[in-house]
Amino acid sequence: MSPVAVDGVAIDDRAIAAEMQLHPAPRMEEAWAEAARALVIRRLLLTEAARADIAADPPEADEGPEEATIRALLAARIAVPEPDESACRAHWEAHPDRWHSPVVYEAAHILFAAAPGDAAAQARAKQAAGETLAVLAAHPDRFAALARARSDCSSGAQGGMLGQQRRGDLVAEIETFVMALEPGQICPVPIATRYGYHVLRLDRRADGARLPYDAVAAAVRQDLMARGWQHATAAYLRALAGQARIEGVAL
C-alpha cells in the first residue's frame, strides 16, 4: 500500500488498519482504501477546525472530543435553507414509492428444524416438509393440527400462526413467498431457510398504499433537509481536499 499523507503529514498504517474494521469490503484493498479516505477526511476537518479556531461542542453520548470538534465545524460551515412548501410537494411527487404505509400480513408455518451444514438433517427436514405438503394438498383444513403435531417452532402450539407481521420482520426467504402467494394459499414447495424447512400458508396481506402528502409533510421536509446537508457537506469536503496535498489515496 502507498504511504498516505495530508500536506506532508503521514497517516500511520496502524491507524488505517484499525479503521478498516469500520469499512468492510469484499477485498482487503478496498477496505484499506475506504479506511484511508475516512482518515484523510478526518484530518482535513480537524486541521480546518484548528485553523479556524472552532471551539468543540460538549461531546454527546458515544462521541469523543474530535467528533465533537468536527460536528461544531460542520455546524458552523454548512447551512441548508429550509425547503418551502412547493419544493416539499415536488419532492413527494417525484418519489411516489418512498412514503407508503407498510405491507402487513398474517401467515402460518410448520417448521422442520435442521442445523445449517448438517446435510443429513437438512435432507430429513426437506422430506418431512414434502410429506406434510402432500397431506395438506388433500386436506388443507388440517394445517393447524399438523402444526401442533409436527412443527419445531413454538408457534406450533397456536396452529403455526405467526401473528401480524410487517414486511422485513421475517427472513427474506419466507417473505419472498409471502409476497407471491394469494391469501389462503399454501406454498406448494418447502421453503429452505437457515432454520430448516418451512411449510407456509398466507392468510391475509394488506399491501402498502401511498400516504397523502399532509400525513408525511414533516418527513418529506426532513428528508429534503438531510439530502441538502449531504450535498453541501460533500461540496465542502471537495473544497477542503482541493486546497490540500493528499498522497496515497484518491478522494
Question: Residue 132 sits in a domain of what CATH number?
Answer: 3.10.50.40
Owner of C-alpha cell 399532509: 214
Is the residue at 74 inside a domain?
Answer: yes
Distance CA 160, CA 182 (A): 18
Kindly tell me if the per-residue pLDDT of 251 is higher than 90: no
Residue 192's pLDDT band, with cuts at 50, 70 and 90, is: very high
The pLDDT score that the predictor gives to residue 56 is: 76
Residue 227, classed as helix, strand or coil, is helix
Domain residues for the domain of 162 are 104-206
Residue 139 contacts residue 180 (beta carbons within 8 Å): no
Q: What is the mean pLDDT of residues 129-141?
A: 97
Kindly tell me if the per-residue pLDDT of 59 is higher than 80: no
The pLDDT score that the predictor gives to residue 238 is: 94
Does the global pTM surpass 0.85?
Answer: no
Whole-number mean pLDDT of the chain?
93
Q: Is the domain of 59 the same as that of 137?
A: no
Q: Is the domain of 115 the same as that of 172?
A: yes
Q: Is the domain of 42 the same as that of 123?
A: no
Is the residue at 194 inside a domain?
Answer: yes
The pLDDT score that the predictor gives to residue 174 is: 95
DSSP assignments along 143-155, one per residue: HHHHHHHH-SSGG
149-152 CB contacts, 8 Å cutoff, 24+ apart: 150/110, 150/112, 151/109, 151/110, 151/111, 151/112, 152/111, 152/112, 152/113, 152/196
Is the residue at 70 inside a domain?
Answer: yes
Q: Which of 151, 173, 172, 155 is nearest to 164 (CA)?
A: 155
Q: Is the domain of 195 the same as that of 123?
A: yes
Distance CA 218, CA 209 (A): 18
Residue 100, classed as helix, strand or coil, is strand
Q: Is the domain of 232 the same as that of 200?
A: no
Kindly tell me if the per-residue pLDDT of 1 is higher than 80: no
Report how far Cα 100 is from the mean position of its chain's Cα atoms: 17
Number of domains forming the structure of the chain: 2
Kindly tell me if the per-residue pLDDT of 218 is higher than 90: yes
Q: What is the pLDDT of residues 65-112, one digit of tens each?
A: 889 999 999 999 999 999 999 999 999 999 988 898 888 999 999 999
Q: Which of 251, 249, 250, 246 is nearest to 16 (CA)?
A: 249
Q: Is the domain of 134 the same as that of 161?
A: yes
Kindly tell me if the per-residue pLDDT of 60 is higher than 80: no
Q: Is the domain of 117 the same as that of 181?
A: yes
